[in-house]
Amino acid sequence: MSAPVNQERIISKLQTDYIFKLNKSEWEDFAKKLHYPGGMAVRIFKKETGSRALVYHIKNNTPFLSMEVFYRAPDFNKPYIFFLWIFYPIGTFQDTTEAFLNKVAHRAMMDLEAEYGVKAFYSVWDNNANLMSPTMEIILLAVQKK
């Protein structure tokens, strides 16, 4: 497994438990108050199904991570799924096979225990929208409470 995902804690059970207790309006308030030190800022993208918070480095406009809690109608009181995007420089991952992604999901589930199900995805974020720079590799974790 690639070093960045293998060596770092991928996701926190304490924070995930907290997020899954928030209704949609509480998540919106929480997302607005997110603060990351060390030259980072948070940009909020409002969506009907739940806002997305993008944390990025101010100096070079490079994304660091992004979180979105998805709520679905008619019950916006319970999160349906939590998405966590983790951004890495191009070339970080030599292996992006399904076996690798299963290891990433398994590692996240070890942190979260049996209460959650996790699926991992890999993609390359191309800066064709010119919102951020540069092009990045992404590990996306989709987390659902069982």
Q: Which residue carries 């919102």 as its tokens? A: 131
**Where does the pLDDT of residue 71 fall: very low under 50, low under 70, confident under 90, or very high at 90 and above?**
very high
| Domain count of the fold of the chain | 1
Question: How many Å apart are CA 16 and CA 112, to the nearest integer?
Answer: 8
pLDDT tens per residue, range 9-57: 678 899 999 999 999 999 999 999 988 888 899 999 998 889 999 998 8
Between vectors from CA 101 to CA 58 and to CA 123, what angle results, nearest 5°?
A: 45
**Where does the pLDDT of residue 3 fall: very low under 50, low under 70, confident under 90, or very high at 90 and above?**
very low
Mean pLDDT for all residues in the chain: 86
**For residue 85, what are the domain limits?**
3-145
Record the pTM.
Answer: 0.86
Answer whether residue 121 shows pLDDT above 90.
Answer: yes
- Residue 86, pLDDT score: 92
- If one counts every other C-beta atom within 10 angstroms of the C-beta of residue 63, the result is 22
- Residue 8, pLDDT score: 62
Sheet strands (E) in the chain:
40-45, 52-57, 62-70, 81-89, 116-125, 136-145
Q: Who wins on pLDDT, 132 or 138?
A: 138
